[in-house]
Structure 1
Amino acid sequence: MTEKTTWEYATVPLIVHATKQILDQWGSDGWELVQVLVMPEGNLVAYLKRPKA
């Protein structure tokens, strides 16, 4: 029987002029981008996940 993957999640505010650098840093730490939302105020928020160790 295979083990079920459990996840941990992070919510990260994104700065428009540094979006790629922020996502690259989180990606190098093993986080996978799930979604980016534009909040009513116009701010960007990224939702990320990675398997729990």
Structure 2
Amino acid sequence: MTESARRTWEYATIPLLIHNTKAILDSWGVDGWELVTVLSGPGGGDQLVAYLKRPTS
């Protein structure tokens, strides 16, 4: 089994504010989080939720 096949991940979901999306994602990126996708929030409308992942130590 290769190293990449054994890698484990942790995940986070965060609400995104439309007017501050870049700053929020940049802040999480500094901590090693990678954006996986952005979807509409459960309430619909303009609410967005970002799904992120990063390798565990």
TM-score by length of 2: 0.84
Where structure 2 has 5 or more consecutive residues not aligned to the other structure, the ranges are: none
2:19 aligns to what? 17
Percent identity between the aligned chains?
66
**Which of 39, 42, 56 matches 1:52?**
56
Find the residue that maps to 1:26 and give its secondary structure: helix
Q: Report the aligned-residue RMSD.
A: 1.2
Question: Quick check: which one's helix share is greater?
Answer: 2
Where structure 1 has 5 or more consecutive residues not aligned to the other structure, the ranges are: none
1:37 aligns to what? 39
* Residue 42 (structure 1) shift: 2.7
2:48 aligned partner, one-letter code:
L
Find the residue that maps to 1:50 and give its secondary structure: strand
Task: Give every structure 1 segment of 4 or more consecutive aligned residues whose post-TM-superposition deviation is greater than 3 Å.
Answer: none
Find the residue that maps to 2:45 and give its secondary structure: coil
TM-score by length of 1: 0.89
